[in-house]
């Protein structure tokens, strides 16, 4: 019992009008990876915010090293050796790696920063997580994966014994995830206890020891990490999801989107494909293969050098979002908050962004009509909200994504381009989005879907295109496509050129 | 979690919409108690006239601030437009409607130049409009050769009263305020301003022509500045090239006191109106209480800081 570094009993937290945590038990031993699993809104973030001193429980007890402890502030958490790595890093991009590692506590001699000691100490910390980065380099010159490593190294520099990682793999490529896992295993051996949050079920068995499942603010089960995925999903949603990828194939019609020899120097080259009415075409590949760049160019958001894009047989002018929209294209961008939504505006306004132009007569927007249309589509998508006037900032990830998709439904886009449509959203909302894709194709729309989630892109696509290094590496029918065949194409060309 | 925070948010939204209004009411009640001269029709109309120029500039500034921009040139553009009006009406003998139209066009043109520098030139709004401040102020001095130009009688009637009690500047202020509210709430450009200020990339990817809408925004601010300049000149019966110096800061203060956010996406015509009234009532009240002009500046500075501080605190509570 006393070997536990952290023990939580009966934690409850109420926010005005709502219970965020409703009885959570959780414990953590040194040298283990304890996975926290739950849908968005299940209470994971509330729990980790309590462990890091941002929120205070209304009821319940936190024991650290067997002693009842109150974690009132972030400093308290730091003194106890609890460090949290959020998805948005607490780093300053313009400063050097070393300065970031010792943010707020640089080594000093006579009041002046001792740069030599700083770089030496930074080097040691970086070695400890095994990341190859120059302590003198500005942080922003590192990719997101190495920034994350720097964040981990920084936590170790603060003598963290408990490391809480909030969806660390969401932003990483497959090979980067491997590197992260290597480091996590290393930390385990050093006796660090790790709380690991992920939406990727397959990662649980790879890296975890135990899993605590949260549902509706309560801990509902504690199971070993090798529990089958179906069982985990059932625990998480409280019901079994019959089929994770309920693709219903529909009859295909004429090509709606044709891309011919699309090239942008140094970014992508000679990309040609078509998407037919009623078809879902998946665009698979590693992060950085050029998939997002291609679809942005098709949509007119970025320029391209040569090639052609046709919608319904008619060529689109280059670099004109409005022309692409009028022709019937819609883009749900990969960065929901940064590119898809006006976070401070409400649901009605966000849903109306695309159709506002059409609803304008002599400069005046038909706001009543806009509101009616927004109400209809919000209902159709099952957006869980208090009303159309709710700020989208306060919606969960899945509901935010429904709003982004909804604005294109209102515009009745014939070809919908979805860039990582289910990233960071919970299982229930994912299935709802898949069903939406089904109903779109059933009514003769075409869908082009980028996804780095292999099971998803395999499960939902009628045809798969695989990109590698800015080129189309191959095309696979739904029957041919397997995780292995897709990965072979995605990395194959990498090895060839390496 | 959602319904609770929502209820709280709704409550705070009502408060923050009426927060500055509440401040204004408190101010009026306090001044009524402190000075017998405050709550009289003559004095209140006087306050209205004093508020008019700032309020009109602030309405124009509201568009810009909603798109998360800033316009430091409005004071100078107002002065330039006034000088152009007086110059064309006197030395060129233009009839006053034509001269007024010409002054408006100059204001709009200055705004468009700002817009072009910001969109095509990719200058930060702060820099582009700071440069325009210098250029407009300088051109006004060049045209007027540095001295005030008296307005012909036909033009200075604009500063008079209708039916010998309702001052024209107050009417113009209210008309411009209504135009601002209609543009922001009902027109495509107005709605696009909120979207651009809230998230420019999302607006662009939703098919809003960001460049064009920003040009409209800065042109509106320039046009409003010209109107403010004309009102100011007609009140003084002369166009002064040095007039309205520093008024852009009053205008920004009025917008911010009115609840807009400098980071964009938020702001309302009514809020700006209340903000401008608070500044004018405060100045008027301090005068009535014979507070020295030096201390007045201190008080106004404190009020600006307090207004924004309260707003920030209220928003933090809502989180």
Question: Per the structure block, which two tokens stand in for A281?
Answer: 């075409």
pLDDT confidence band for A241 (50 / 70 / 90):
very low
How many angstroms separate the CA of residue B108 from the nearest CA in chain A? Answer: 19
Instruction: For residue A310, give how far its alpha carbon lies from the nearest alpha carbon of chain B (Å).
Output: 18
Q: CB–CB of B237/B145 below 8 Å?
A: no
A116 and A108 Cβ atoms separated by less than 8 Å: no
Q: How far apart are the CA of B10 and the nearest CA of chain A, in angstroms?
A: 9
| Cα A484 off chain centre by | 23
Mean pLDDT of chain A: 88
For residue B163, name the pLDDT band (cuts at 50, 70, 90): low
- Contacts of B3 by beta carbon, 8 Å cutoff, 6+ apart: A17, A18, A386
State which H helix or E strand residue A348 sits in: helix A347-351
pLDDT at B268: 94
8 A C-beta contact, residue A156 and residue A128: yes
Contacts by A266-270, CB closer than 8 A, 24 or more apart: A266/A470, A267/A293, A267/A470, A268/A293, A268/A294, A268/A297, A268/A467, A268/A470, A268/A471, A269/A470, A269/A471, A270/A307, A270/A471, A270/A472
Q: Decide if A57 contacts A21 (C-beta within 8 A).
A: yes
For residue A482, CA distances in Å to A351, A476, A479 come to 37, 9, 8
Question: CB-CB: which of B7, B199, B205 is closest to A331?
Answer: B205
Q: Do A353 and B186 touch (CB under 8 A)?
A: no
Closest Cβ–Cβ partner in A15, A20, A345 for B194: A345
Q: Residues B215-247: pLDDT tens digits?
A: 999 999 999 999 999 999 988 889 999 999 999
Sign (positive or negative) of CA dihedral B135, B141, B145, B149: positive
Averaged pLDDT for residues A23-28: 93
Q: Which residues are paired to A378 by β-bridges?
A: none
Residue A217: what pLDDT?
86
Higher pLDDT, B17 or A453: A453
Q: State residue B318's pLDDT score.
A: 54
- Other beta carbons within 10 angstroms of residue B186's beta carbon come to 16
Structural domains of chain A, with CATH: 6-237 (3.40.50.300), 255-497 (3.40.50.300)
Contact between B217 and B141 under an 8 Å Cβ cutoff? The reply is no
Q: Is A110 on the interface with B (CB under 8 A)?
A: no
Using a CB–CB cut-off of 8 Å, the residues of B that contact A are 1-9, 185-189, 191-192, 194-195, 198-199, 201-209, 265-266
Question: Which among A288, A475, A326 has a CA at the least distance from the CA of A415?
Answer: A326
Residue-wise pLDDT tens digits, A151-206: 889 988 888 999 999 988 877 877 888 889 999 999 999 899 999 998 788 889 99
pLDDT(A496) > 70: no
H/E stretch holding A467 reads strand A463-468
Arithmetic mean of pLDDT, A396-410: 92
Question: Is there a contact between A342 and B2 if contact means CB atoms under 8 Å apart?
Answer: no
User: Is A104 a residue whose pLDDT tops 90?
Assistant: no
The pLDDT assigned to A423 comes to 82
Name the residue with higher pLDDT: A407 or B17: A407
List pLDDT tens digits, range A43-54: 888 899 999 988
Nearest CB neighbour to A354, from listed B2, B6, B207 = B207
DSSP track, chain B:
-HHHHHHHHHHHHHHHHHHHHHHHHHHHHHHHHH-TTTSSHHHHHHHHHHHHHHHHHHHHHHHHHHTT---TTHHHHHHHHHHHHHHHHHTS---HHHHHHHHHHHHHHHHHHHHHHHHTS---HHHHHHHHHHHHHHHHHHHHTTS-EEPPHHHHGGGSEETTTEEHHHHHHHHHHHHHHHHHHHBHHHHHHHHHHH-HHHHHHTT--HHHHHHHHHHHHHHHHHHHHHHHHHHHTEE-TTTTTTHHHHHHHHHHHTT--TTSS---HHHHHHHHHHHHHHHHHHHHTT--HHHHHHHHHHHHHHHHHHHHHHHHHH-
Task: Report d(CA A143, CA A15) in Å as an integer.
Answer: 37
User: How far apart are alpha carbons A327 and A415 in whole angstroms?
Assistant: 9
Q: Which of B178, B172, B179, B218 is nearest to B196 (CA)?
A: B218
Residue of B189, B198, B204 lying closest to A345 (CB–CB)? B198
Percent of chain A topping pLDDT 90: 54
d(CA B212, CA A79): 54
Placement of tokens 């060309």 in the chain: A493
**Residue A312 exposed, middle or buried by CB count within 10 Å (0-12, 13-18, 19+):** middle
The chain-wide mean pLDDT, for chain B, equals 90
Whether residue B301 has pLDDT greater than 70: yes
| Contacting residues of A for B198, CB less than 8 Å apart | 342-345
Q: Does A331 touch chain B (CB under 8 A)?
A: yes
| Cβ A481 vs Cβ A464: under 8 Å | yes
| CA A7/CA A67 separation, integer angstroms | 9
Residue by residue, DSSP assigns B246-302 as: THHHHHHHHHHHTT--TTSS---HHHHHHHHHHHHHHHHHHHHTT--HHHHHHHHHH
- Per the listing, tokens 């994504």 go with A401
Chain A residue numbers with beta carbons less than 8 Å from the beta carbon of B9 are: 391, 394
Query: pLDDT tens digit string along B241-266?
Result: 999 999 999 999 999 999 898 889 99
Question: What are the structure tokens assigned to B228, written together?
Answer: 């403010």
Sheet holding A446-450, edge to edge: A329-332, A415-419, A446-450, A280-285, A463-468, A471-477
Residue B195 to residue A325, Cβ atoms within 8 A: no
Rounded to a whole number of angstroms, the distance from the CA of A247 to the nearest CA of chain B is 28
d(CA B49, CA B284): 11
Token pair, residue B151, equals 């307005």
Mutate which: A12, A13, A17, vs B, most B CBs within 10 A: A17
pLDDT digits (tens, 9 = 90+) for A356-390: 999 999 889 999 999 999 999 999 998 888 889 99
Query: What domains can you pick out in chain B, each with its CATH number?
Result: 9-318 (1.10.3470)
Closest partner CB to A322 (pick from B6, B209, B266): B209
Alpha-carbon gap, residue B293 to A454, rounded angstroms: 71
A34 pLDDT band, cuts 50/70/90, is: very high
A414: β partners: none
User: Is B159:B172 a contact under the CB 8 Å cutoff?
Assistant: no
Write out pLDDT tens, residues A63-103: 999 999 999 988 899 899 999 998 778 888 889 999 999 88
A367/B contact by beta carbon, under 8 A: yes
Decide if B187 and A16 are in contact by the 8 Å CB cutoff: no
The answer to whether A388 contacts chain B (CB < 8 Å) is no
Q: Which of A344, A210, A389, A86 is nearest to B197 (CA)?
A: A344
Contact A20 B2 (CB under 8 A): no
Cβ B202–A367 below 8 Å, yes or no? Answer: no
- pLDDT of A14 reads 82
Q: Is the pLDDT of residue B85 over 50?
A: yes
């Amino acid at each position: 019992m006393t070997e536990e570094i952290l023990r939580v009993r009966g934690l409850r937290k109420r926010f005005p009008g709502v219970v965020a945590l409703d009885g959570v038990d959780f414990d953590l031993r040194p040298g283990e990876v304890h996975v926290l699993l739950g849908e968005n809104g299940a209470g994971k973030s509330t729990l980790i915010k309590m462990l890091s001193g941002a929120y205070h429980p209304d009821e319940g007890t936190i024991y650290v090293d067997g002693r009842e402890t109150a974690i009132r502030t972030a400093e308290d958490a730091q003194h106890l050796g609890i460090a949290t790595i959020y998805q948005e890093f607490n780093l300053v991009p313009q400063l050097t790696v070393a300065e970031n590692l010792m943010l707020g506590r640089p080594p000093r001699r006579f009041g002046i920063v001792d740069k030599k000691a700083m770089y030496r100490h930074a080097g040691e910390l970086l070695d400890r997580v095994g990341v190859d980065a120059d302590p003198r380099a500005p942080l922003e010159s590192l990719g997101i994966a190495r920034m994350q490593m720097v964040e981990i190294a920084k936590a170790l520099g603060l003598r963290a014994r408990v490391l809480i990682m909030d969806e660390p793999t969401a932003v990483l490529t497959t090979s980067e995830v491997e590197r992260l896992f290597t480091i996590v295993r290393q930390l385990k051996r050093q006796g660090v206890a790790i709380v690991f949050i992920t939406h990727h079920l397959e990662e649980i068995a790879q890296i975890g020891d135990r899993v605590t499942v949260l549902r509706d603010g309560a801990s509902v089960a504690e199971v070993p990490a090798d529990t089958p995925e179906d069982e985990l999903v059932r625990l998480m949603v409280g019901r079994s999801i019959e089929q994770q990828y309920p693709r219903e194939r529909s009859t295909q019609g004429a090509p709606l989107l044709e891309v011919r020899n699309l090239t942008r120097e140094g970014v992508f080259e000679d990309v040609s494909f078509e998407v037919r009415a009623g078809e879902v075409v998946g665009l698979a590949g590693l992060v950085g293969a050029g998939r997002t760049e291609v679809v942005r160019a098709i949509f007119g958001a970025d320029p391209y050098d040569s090639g052609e894009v046709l919608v319904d047989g008619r060529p689109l002018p280059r670099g004109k979002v409005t022309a692409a929209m009028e022709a019937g294209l819609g883009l749900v961008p990969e960065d929901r908050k940064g590119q898809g939504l006006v976070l401070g505006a409400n649901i009605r306004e966000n849903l109306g962004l695309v159709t506002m132009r059409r609803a304008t007569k002599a400069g005046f927007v038909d706001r009543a009509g806009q509101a009616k249309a927004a109400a209809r589509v919000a209902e159709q998508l099952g957006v869980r909200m208090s009303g159309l006037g709710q700020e989208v900032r306060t919606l969960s990830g899945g509901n935010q994504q429904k709003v982004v998709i909804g604005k294109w439904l209102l515009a009745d886009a014939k070809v919908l381009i979805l860039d990582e449509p289910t990233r960071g959203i919970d299982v229930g909302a994912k299935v709802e989005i898949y069903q939406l894709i089904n109903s779109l194709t059933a009514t003769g729309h075409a869908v082009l879907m980028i996804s780095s989630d292999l099971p998803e892109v395999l499960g939902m696509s009628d045809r798969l295109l695989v990109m590698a290094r800015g080129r189309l590496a191959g095309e696979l029918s739904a029957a041919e496509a397997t995780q292995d065949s897709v990965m072979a194409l995605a990395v194959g060309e990498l090895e060839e050129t390496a | 979690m959602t319904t609770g925070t929502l209820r709280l948010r709704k409550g705070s939204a009502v408060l923050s919409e009426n927060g500055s209004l509440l401040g204004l009411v408190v101010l009026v009640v306090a001044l009524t108690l402190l000075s017998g001269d405050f709550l009289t029709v003559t004095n209140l109309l006087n306050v209205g006239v004093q508020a008019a120029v700032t309020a009109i500039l602030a309405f124009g500034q509201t568009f810009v601030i909603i798109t998360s921009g800033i316009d430091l040139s409005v004071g100078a553009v107002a002065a330039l437009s006034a000088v152009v009006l007086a110059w064309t009406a006197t030395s060129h003998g233009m009839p006053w409607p034509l001269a007024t139209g010409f002054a408006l066009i100059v204001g709009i043109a200055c705004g468009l130049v700002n817009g072009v520098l910001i969109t095509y030139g990719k200058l930060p709004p702060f820099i582009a409009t700071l440069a325009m401040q210098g250029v407009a102020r300088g051109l006004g001095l060049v045209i007027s050769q540095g001295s005030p130009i008296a307005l012909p009688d036909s033009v200075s009637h604009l500063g008079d009263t209708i039916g010998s009690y309702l001052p024209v500047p107050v009417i113009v202020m209210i008309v411009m305020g209504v135009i601002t509210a209609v543009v922001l709430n009902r027109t495509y450009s107005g709605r696009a301003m909120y979207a651009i200020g809230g998230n420019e990339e999302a607006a662009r990817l939703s098919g809003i022509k960001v460049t064009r809408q920003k040009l409209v925004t800065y042109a509106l601010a320039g046009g409003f500045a010209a109107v403010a300049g004309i009102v100011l000149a007609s009140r003084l019966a002369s166009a002064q090239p040095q007039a309205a110096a520093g008024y852009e800061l009053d205008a920004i203060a009025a917008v911010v006191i009115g609840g807009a956010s400098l980071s964009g996406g938020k702001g309302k015509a009514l809020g700006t109106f209340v903000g401008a009234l608070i500044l004018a009532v405060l100045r008027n009240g301090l005068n009535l209480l014979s507070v020295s002009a030096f201390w007045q500046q201190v008080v106004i500075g404190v009020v600006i800081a307090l207004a924004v501080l309260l707003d920030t605190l209220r928003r933090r509570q809502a989180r």
